[in-house]
Amino acid sequence: MAAGTGIREERKLKTRQALLDAALKLLEGEQSFSSLSLREVTREAGVVPTAFYRHFRDMDELGLALVDESVRTLRQVTRAARQGTLPTEQIIRRSVETIVAYVQANRLHFQFLMRERAGGRSQVRSAIRSEVRLFISELATDLARFPGLREWSTEDLQMMAGTLVGVVINALQDVLELPPGRSAEELALVEMVSKQLRLVILGAGLWKSRPPEVSG
Q: How far apart are CA 183 and CA 186, in angstroms?
A: 5
Of the candidate spans 25-33, 65-73, 95-103, 142-150, the one that interacts with its own copies by CB under 8 A turns out to be 25-33
Residue 30 beta carbon to DNA: minimum distance, rounded to whole angstroms: 15
- 121 makes contact, choosing from DNA, its own copies, none, with CB < 5 to 8 Å by partner type, with its own copies
Q: How far is the CB of 2 from its own copies (least distance, A)?
A: 44
Output the CA–CA distances (angstroms, integers) from residue 172 to 21, 96, 166, 192, in the order listed: 22, 10, 10, 12
SS3 104: helix
Which residue among 6, 119, 148, 180 contacts DNA (CB under 7 A)? 6
Closer CB to DNA, 37 or 183, in the complex = 37
Alpha-carbon 93 to chain mean position: 19
Task: Please tell me what DSSP assigns to residue 149.
Answer: G
Binding characters for DNA, 13-42, by CB under 7 A (x = yes): -xx---------------------xxxx--
As measured in angstroms, the least distance from the Cβ of 114 to DNA is 23
Binding DNA (rule: CB under 7 A), the pick from 28, 32, 53, 170 is 53
Size of the site for DNA (CB under 7 A): 27
Out of its own copies, DNA, none, what residue 37 binds, judged by CB under 5 to 8 A for its kind, is DNA
Tell me the one-letter amino acid at 171. Answer: A
Q: Which of 93, 137, 166, 185 binds its own copies (CB under 8 A)?
A: 166
- CA–CA gap between residue 200 and residue 185 (Å, rounded): 23
Contact of residue 214 among DNA, its own copies, none (CB under 5-8 Å per partner type): none
Site for DNA in 57-76 (CB under 7 A): 58-59
Cα angle, residue 204 at apex, residues 200 and 206 outer, rounded to 5°: 125
85 closest CA partner among 182, 172, 187, 161: 161
Of the candidates 101, 127, 99, 102, which has an alpha carbon nearest to the alpha carbon of residue 113?
A: 127
Q: With the CA atoms of 70, 98, 161 and 140 taken in that order, what torsion angle do they form, in degrees rounded to the nearest 10?
A: 80
The residue ranges that bind its own copies (CB under 8 A) are 30-32, 34-35, 114-122, 129, 156, 159-160, 162-163, 166-167, 169-170, 173, 177, 192, 195-196, 198-207
The residue ranges that bind DNA (CB under 7 A) are 2, 4-9, 11-12, 14-15, 37-40, 43, 47-55, 58-59
